[in-house]
A and B are shown apart, each in its own frame.
Chain A
Amino acid sequence: MTDEEQTLRIIDEELDRALGGLSAPPGFAAAVRQRVAASRVSPLPEILDSIGWAAILAIVFALLLWLLPMARGAWWPVAAGSLLIAPALFYGWRSIRAITE
């Protein structure tokens, strides 16, 4: 065995000894889970947002009924109100689903 081969053998042995089997410290996975939990987005703002928009639409609808007496008792204001509220509910549901997935 030449001098260089001998030196390389020593280097390999020392590095295997120092670095072989190196692994993540204990508690690493728990720390990751903690950080993941902390960075989860809460659905609460989306829910409050949906309630707020639904309330605004309901007020607009009530005002329209009040301002347009001919709409009272007719079927089309109900259909128009549903058309307004249904997309709001749909988008709210989609947002909540996206952040809780």
Chain B
Amino acid sequence: MKDSTLTQLPELAQFEDFFDARFARVAYHEKSGIIICELKSEYVPIEHFKDIFLRISELVGKGINQKFIFDKRALRAFHQPSMEWYFIVWKKDMYQHGLSVHRKILPDEPWFRKSVEIAKSQIIQNYPDNIVDKLDIRYCGSIEEAIEV
């Protein structure tokens, strides 16, 4: 018989804060292996961006690797080199640690969404050895939805 605590999805309130800093808040739920990273600023300088994700790697390394929810709703500027690093280096590293499910929440602005789409297709084109086809990536409208799907 399956353990119901493993299959039951957590409520947002059950997440524990990993850190809450100027540019991001990161929370996790150990049992379900879900990590939430909520960006808090319109723009995140690359050194801070990398720092946030390297800290998240610690959680993934500890086995909290079922799903990563990236809430980018606060963003208003898409920094290409940061996103390249996130997409090509970080995601690949995390995939090797068992993290393959990614849920993203984008800002509502259609121009931003389009820019992200264009930039992403460029990254995929420029880095043919990317692992995007091995990942389960979906876009969601809220954190609650991202936890569910």
Chain B associates with chain A: no
